[in-house]
Amino acid sequence: MAEGILIYAEQREGKLRKAAFESLSEASRLAEKTGGGVSALLIGKDVDGLAPQLGPYGAGKVFVAQADHLEKYTTEGHTAVFADLIKQIDPSIVLIGGSTQGRDLAPRVAMRTGGGLAADCIDLEISDGNKMVCRRPAYAGKAHCEVVFRDGVSPQMATLRPNVFLVVEPDASKTAEVEQFQVNITPDQIRVKPIEMQVKGGERVDLTEAEIIVSGGRGMKGPENFAMLEELADVLGGNCAVGASRAAVDAGWREQRFQVGQTGKVVTPNLYIACGISGAIQHLAGMGSSKVIVAVNKDPDANIFKVADYGITEDLFKIVPLLKEELKKLLSE
């Protein structure tokens, strides 16, 4: 009989991603209701040293799958290992962070194992019948729906929207049992392989993990003016990222990787500052669940004000420099 909760501990270049701790924290909370244990899967090359970091966040056991050909993420390699582990330990629930990597991996693992999958979840609960109830946005965030798995579906799988689920304070007294998991997939079975990974220097924190995001839209008037948003982000600190609306990206002012919205990245920062963004539906779908939204737009009828907690109806070229200077003073006190 299926029991226990398994999470995917995403890592990149030898560092655990925030998604791993969010998934593990939520799994620990759910386990208090299901009564099962919590385990984690760590895949890569020479990643033994990361396993002890998972214990304080609630992992009772960490399965480590290591091989030279698993050093970089590949869909086929990680899917095969993940599916093999699920078939072996038979967990009732599987949680995966909703990062780009997680969204690629989850549906393939679900298909391989016969599990059911609820994507982009913002809340999870356990019903009286010990079933996982998943709450997720629908219709571009205009509504929320609840997903409950049919009888007999196992494992119950969910991807978690980044930056929504609280990461618990680590308990140093907790340790995890570490077990090496046999990798059965061979290098020649991985048909699509990364040849080279190029990382641009000086990048800020990823949009999906940022606690503060400053975004610019068509009102920025040109790519050169995003420099003022970069300066504002510098004042706000290292966990601040700079985003853009689809209009700014389509105009060639920012690269697509900075796009926030339904066709870009879905973000949930603690603070979202929208500068010169009108508030198109597809953009609101990507940032509408931000905890606090500040909008700067000289058009008082801009749609962005419908979701903003604070609004400034003034020219952003006057407001942003003033905001930067005031924040400098405030943060220096």
pLDDT at 163: 87
Q: State which amino acid sits at residue 295.
A: A
Q: Answer whether 5-189 and 207-332 agree in fold.
A: yes
pLDDT tens, residue by residue, 200-223: 545 688 898 899 999 999 999 999
Tell whether the model's pLDDT for residue 237 goes beyond 90. Answer: no
pLDDT at 270: 93
Tell whether the model's pLDDT for residue 250 goes beyond 50. Answer: yes
Distance (Å, whole) CA 221 – CA 112: 48
Counting residues of the chain whose pLDDT is more than 90, the rounded percentage is 80
Tell whether the model's pLDDT for residue 184 goes beyond 60. Answer: yes
Q: State which amino acid sits at residue 143.
A: A
pLDDT tens, residue by residue, 278-310: 999 999 999 988 999 999 999 999 999 999 999
Query: How many other C-beta atoms can be found within 10 angstroms of the C-beta atom of residue 188?
Result: 7
Tokens 């030898």 map to which residue? 14
Tell whether the model's pLDDT for residue 2 goes beyond 80. Answer: no
Sheet arrangement for strand 123-126: 123-126, 132-138, 143-148
Distance (Å, whole) CA 293 – CA 271: 6
Q: C-alpha angle 239/236/287, rounded to 5°?
A: 65
Q: Which CATH class is domain 5-189?
A: alpha beta
Distance (Å, whole) CA 92 – CA 153: 9
Alpha carbons within 13 A on the beta-carbon side of 42: 32
Tell whether the model's pLDDT for residue 329 goes beyond 70. Answer: yes
pLDDT at 289: 87
For the CA atoms of the chain, what is the radius of gyration? 21
Spell out the domain ranges in the chain: 5-189, 207-332
Q: Is 3.40.50.1220 the CATH classification of the domain at 207-332?
A: yes
Both tokens of 134, joined, read 């998943």
Distance (Å, whole) CA 263 – CA 82: 28
Least confident of 80-89, 137-146, 243-252, 256-265: 137-146
Tell whether the model's pLDDT for residue 248 goes beyond 70. Answer: yes
pLDDT tens, residue by residue, 147-164: 999 988 999 999 999 889
Cβ neighbours for 137, distance < 8 A, ≥ 6 positions apart: 120, 122, 143, 144, 285, 289
pLDDT band of residue 1 (cuts 50, 70, 90) is very low
Tell whether the model's pLDDT for residue 91 goes beyond 90. Answer: yes
pLDDT at 201: 47
Mean pLDDT of the chain: 93
Tell whether the model's pLDDT for residue 74 goes beyond 50. Answer: yes
Tokens 């010990």 map to which residue? 130
Both tokens of 6, joined, read 């398994």
pLDDT band of residue 233 (cuts 50, 70, 90) is very high
Higher pLDDT, 30 or 163: 30
Helix (H, G, I), strand (E, B) or coil at 255: coil
